[in-house]
Structure 1
Amino acid sequence: MTRARWAAITGATLFFVVGLALGGSHPAPPAPNGDTLGPDAGETPAAYAQRAQRSVDAVATVSEPVFGLIVFDAPLDAGSAASITEDVARVNAMLTVGARAEQLPEPLANEDRAAAYERGFDQLNRHLAGSDFPPIEAMVGVVAYDTPQTFERIAEEEDVASVELLPPDAAWGRFGIKAVPAPGEEPAGVDG
């Protein structure tokens, strides 16, 4: 083998190995899968409720757990929200008026879901301390994880305005959560 050919093979191999090393140490961030929960900009509550119901119908026969957004008729305190969601397998986040979705831990062994919601309010209010926001003591909805059948039962609760579900392949952290306006508040993008 000639010296030039040997140098070319060595150079190509070195280039390949360096490329693998750099690519492995800087993996591409996971791309969102495009799923979102919550009303679209300008979507009325009635239109959102209809679209949300179609999402429930689309996964009605699925037996595995899915992520869903439960929107309440009015902002609820921790105890009222807990009475609706106590039997849900997992509540991942609560949505409040004027703030982002706040991730929630599961209740500790000796507490109920209302206590976990109260800890979520405390955490959120600590983040908002010193801002113009008044203390947040109510939520407009929650993102939860359970079977479509559980969500269908929750949708029938008196204080629930709508339930929207994602397909079973949706993963936490890979879908968007849109703000939910308070009842009587104009949806974003609607001119009065």
Structure 2
Amino acid sequence: MARLILFNKPFGVLSQFTDSGSPTARPTLSAFIDVPGVYPAGRLDRDSEGLLLLTDDGRLQARIADPKFKMAKTYLVQVEGEPDDAALDRLRRGVELKDGPTRPAGAERIADPDLWPRDPPIRVRKSIPDSWLKLTIREGRNRQIRRMTAAVGFPTLRLVRWSIGEWTVDGLAPGEWREATAATGARR
């Protein structure tokens, strides 16, 4: 049976096991996960947090990461400003980016979620309010959520991937991981 690890990637950690791209060492997955033979199914930017799936099964890795399988990825997104219905409608229809239009997204305003504190905290400006959105996409372009919110006029301040398919980061503190089954996402 394929191994599947659900990891709550902290802010500032690279989604890989080694860091060959910097003269100064940056934190990587190897500081948190000592399981041989597993690899990330997709990526999560260094400045993003939340669910990262790792597996030892190449087909499962492709099913999770490849956009052709259209697996839903849900993000909790703190943005600068307060998006109106028109901005949310643009996200729902798809946004034109430099690399072409995005697929339609699920987009809704949500109350401030009960999340762990981010280290370091986001930059707060007293003169500009912030708010939270829940966005669900079925593709995975480079920095897509950040580019989508910026395209509708609301830059991303904090980005937390909450779920991929039916697997969720719920119950995992930053830096924690647990094994799950590939079929249902439930704990083993």
Larger radius of gyration: 1
Going by fraction, where is strand more abundant, 1 or 2?
2
TM-score past 0.5 threshold:
no
TM-score under structure 1 length normalisation? 0.32
Q: Give the TM-score taking structure 2 as reference length.
A: 0.33
Higher relative contact order (CA 8 A, sep 6+): 1
Structure holding more helix per residue: 1
